[in-house]
Every structure is written in C-alpha cells, then in structure tokens.
Amino acid sequence: MTTTTLASESIPRPPRRGADGDYARLLRRISDAGLMDRRPGYYAIRLSLVGIAFVAGWVAFVLVGDSWWTLLVAALMAVTFAQVALVMHDVAHRQVFRLRRPTEIVGRVVGNAGIGLAYGWWQDKHTRHHANPNHEDLDPDVAPDILVWSQRQARASRGLARLIGRAQAFLFFPLLMLEGLNLHLAGVRALRNRSIKQRSLEGVLLFGHFAGYLAALFVVLPADKGIAFLAVHQALFGVYMGCIFAPNHKGMPTLTGDDRPDYLRKQVLTSRNVRGGALTDFALGGLNYQIEHHLFPSMPTPNLRHAQVIVRDYCAEIGVPYHETGLIASYREALRHLHHVGAPLRTTE
C-alpha cells in the first residue's frame, strides 16, 4: 500500500460493536507480558549518559575555543540537544517517574533550562496530538502553517504557505534548518497562554537558557565564529528533530470533522513504524516504534520493541492494517505525500 493511497483514503469506519474491547484485549496481553512495568535501571543509565554527553559538549566547546573546529562541536552538540529532547519526551509521558511533581521538575530542567525547549508548551501540544493524531481539526501537528498537510488545507492556504506549498516536498528538509528556531520561539509565544502551568517559572528557565547560551558563545568565541556556531548548531538541531518526528505520521491517513474511529484503530492507522536495528532505535529515541508508543504512551522506551511483536500479530488477527517501512522509505513516503497535497497549488494560476 503506497503512502499516496494511504493519505488519500479516509480511515474506514470499523464496526462499533466490540471495537473498544479490541484495545482492552491487547492491553491485557501487553500487561501480562510485563511490558508496562517501569524500567528505572534503564532510565538511570540513559539519563546519566545523556547528561554526561551534554556536559562533555560544553567542555569541548570551551577547550576548542577560538577555532573553526568549533563548528564540529556545534554539530555534535546538535545531536546531544536532540537526545535531551528525547529524554524530555519520555519524562513527559511519565515513563520515568510515576508522580507529577518529579516529572514536571525534570521536564523543565532538561527542557527549558537545558535546551531552551519549553516543557509546558510542548506537553500541552503533544498531549493534544496523542489524543487525536492526524486529525486536521484537532491535532496541532497537522495544523496548516508554512506547510500544508492535505489538499483541503492547500486550497485554503494564503500568502507564504500557498507559495511554499507548491514545492514543499523539495523544500521540506531545507526548511527543517529553521525548526530549532521555531521550537524556541513557539515556547516563548506560549508564555502568553494562561493555560500553561507555572508560566513565570517556565519563562525564567527559558530566558535563563537563552542568556546563558548566548553569553557562552560570545565570551568564548569572537563574533564571526559565535554566529557561525549558532547557525550550525541550531540548524542541525532542527534538521535532526525533524528527521526524528517526520516518519511517524506524515503521509499516513488523516481524519477530519466527526471522524472518530475507536482508540486502537485511530492510533494504529495514523501511525507508521520504522524498521531498523539498535542504531535506528538510538537515533530516533525509540519513536520508530510509533504505533506501540501511541497505543501505550507511558510504556518505557526499551519495552516498545518487545511490544511490537504482540501488537503486529494482534493487528493481523483482528484485520487492522499495520504499516512499517525502512527509514529512507519513510522519508520518501512523507515527501511523496507533501508533493501530492500541494498539487492543487501547482494547477492554479
């Protein structure tokens, strides 16, 4: 089944009788296998290693100092910042801590203070995404902005989005170089939203990060190298973040209006898994098991690959399509979808 076919078809409406029971039976199998159990040892090691890598990046930045080799450090730190973001993701889903207070403390420390990514804004946005993945009216991740995600959005687009939409498949990866900046700015804009908890604390930590980051750059480096470091670091951070999240849902079926499939089908049919080994698991932070993650958001990351076998077999058993592909193929599918939805803009004058 091609991505274009997936994207152009609406999700079939399954028989409602017994639909909710499908998920309950799957959850029982997953729970009986012990896959919802916490993994404190894994997260103790992972958080420690990511923390060490984060500190080591800044130490290398200082030691390399006034040299163009600092751009290599910028590239390595882009990877480190993205790994910190992946840790924040797991923390926010309460995969690490059961209680809300330590979850929020660690989330704000690693997110706001550590990498300048606002925890409160991201958690609110990501929670809405999980509740209604790929729903054009309810999922903020497919809301039209610079890019459009459906032909309906394309026809309604105006201004820059309409201009970019004509060639958005070709511009997607170059535009990701601005995604790091966009993530920072989105967190700042969200500070005006009264629904965000602890806005003052979020703001202090966020602007504290920006001040410390810029001070470090221009104390250690002259202006030209400081600006170059900033550009390389943030551009590669944005590209890496986009490459982590783009394979998950882009090009999969979308929902509109009153489309409300049951929970299991809503999560499985709108998500894509990415095949690969240990390197893929590391690079994508376990989000390559996107179907399992959406079905069981609080499941610890190392358990997802074990859950995949159960979920895939169960979907075959009840006749629910389960889509997985390789990493490069996932990008190809996403780009093909972007090109397809931009078609109305290429046929209008």
- The string of DSSP letters for 133-189 reads TTBTTT-GGGS-SSS--SHHHHHH--HHHHHHHTTHHHHHHHHHTTHHHHHHHHHHH
Task: Identify the DSSP state of 301.
Answer: G
Q: Return the pLDDT at 197.
A: 86
Q: Which two tokens stand for residue 213?
A: 């980051």
Mean of the pLDDT values across residues 302-331?
Answer: 97
% residues pLDDT > 70 (the chain):
94
Residue 2 has pLDDT above 50, yes or no: no
pLDDT band at 19 (very low <50, low <70, confident <90, very high): low
Separation between Cα atoms, residue 219 and residue 215, nearest integer Å:
6
pLDDT band at 348 (very low <50, low <70, confident <90, very high): low
DSSP-H helix ranges across the chain: 3-8, 19-32, 40-64, 70-92, 100-108, 119-131, 151-156, 159-165, 168-176, 179-190, 199-220, 223-249, 263-269, 278-283, 290-295, 304-318, 327-341, 343-346
Q: Which two tokens stand for residue 135?
A: 């729903």
pLDDT band at 284 (very low <50, low <70, confident <90, very high): very high
Q: Return the pLDDT at 7.
A: 42
User: Look-up: residue for tokens 């090009």?
Assistant: 251
Q: Return the pLDDT at 194.
A: 85
**Dihedral of CA 115/119/121/125: which sign?**
positive
Separation between Cα atoms, residue 253 and residue 14, nearest integer Å:
15
Residue 13 has pLDDT above 50, yes or no: no
What's the pLDDT tens digit per position in 22-80?
A: 999 999 999 999 999 999 999 999 999 999 999 999 999 999 999 999 999 999 999 99
pTM of the model: 0.91
255 three-class SS: strand
Which of 10-24, 76-90, 188-202 is the most confident on average? Answer: 76-90
Query: Domains of the chain: which residue ranges?
Result: 3-344
Task: Identify the DSSP state of 130.
Answer: H
User: Look-up: residue for tokens 């600006």?
Assistant: 227
pLDDT band at 218 (very low <50, low <70, confident <90, very high): very high
Mean of the pLDDT values across residues 210-238?
Answer: 98
pLDDT band at 188 (very low <50, low <70, confident <90, very high): very high
Mean pLDDT over each residue of the chain, to the nearest integer: 92
Separation between Cα atoms, residue 92 and residue 107, nearest integer Å:
6
Q: Which two tokens stand for residue 332?
A: 């190809």
- Phi, psi at residue 325, to the nearest 5°? -155, 175
Phi-psi region of 273 (alpha: psi -120 to 50; beta: other; left: phi over 0): beta
Name residue 324's beta-bridge partners.
273
Mean of the pLDDT values across residues 185-190?
Answer: 95
Mean of the pLDDT values across residues 153-175?
Answer: 95
pLDDT band at 328 (very low <50, low <70, confident <90, very high): very high
